[in-house]
Amino acid sequence: GEDVEQSLFLSVREGDSSVINCTYTDSSSTYLYWYKQEPGAGLQLLTYIFSNMDMKQDQRLTVLLNKKDKHLSLRIADTQTGDSAIYFCAEGLNSGGYQKVTFGTGTKLQVIP
């Protein structure tokens, strides 16, 4: 079945770049997602990449997709204290009339001032 793996914790200094990595198992995924969850809040769709792309840049965020290795990464440039949150990688698989989204365990990003 589908499985998404992430490291649990990442600590960076303010102003540095953060790179959060993710691996997934299903090569027929349609979309790969990054969601952000701040303490006590919901899941904010941060960015996503279609499976036939290998890179997407959106302001400070860069998503890299290596489909051969089933590896997805999220790079946050110039990381700020407001970026401290849990970041969930997720894969979307179209399945008979709906998109099944499978989430990773989340990576807790701690930004040190």
Partner 1 sequence: EPEVTQTPSHQVTQMGQEVILRCVPISNHLYFYWYRQILGQKVEFLVSFYNNEISEKSEIFDDQFSVERPDGSNFTLKIRSTKLEDSAMYFCASSVQEDQPQHFGDGTRLSIL
| DSSP type of residue 81 | G
Q: Sheet containing 61-66: which strands, arranged edge to edge? A: 4-6, 18-24, 71-76, 61-66, 55-58
Write down the least CB distance from residue 45 to partner 1, Å. Answer: 6
Site string for partner 1, 54-93 (x = CB under 8 A): ----------------------------------x-x-x-
Retrieve residue 82's tokens. 């407001």
- Position 91, amino acid: E
86 vs 111, which CB is nearer to partner 1? 86
Q: What is the smallest separation between the CB atom of 81 and partner 1, expressed in angstroms? A: 21
3-class DSSP state for residue 17? coil
Position among 9, 27, 45, 77 found at the interface with partner 1 (CB under 8 A)? 45
* C-alpha to C-alpha distance for 34 and 68, rounded to whole angstroms: 19
Is 101 a binder of partner 1 (CB under 8 A)? yes
* Other Cβ atoms within 10 Å of 1 Cβ, number: 5
- Stretch in the footprint of partner 1 (CB under 8 A) among 20-28, 52-60, 62-70, 97-105: 97-105
Return residues touching partner 1 (CB under 8 A).
Answer: 30-31, 33, 35, 41-45, 48, 88, 90, 92, 94-106
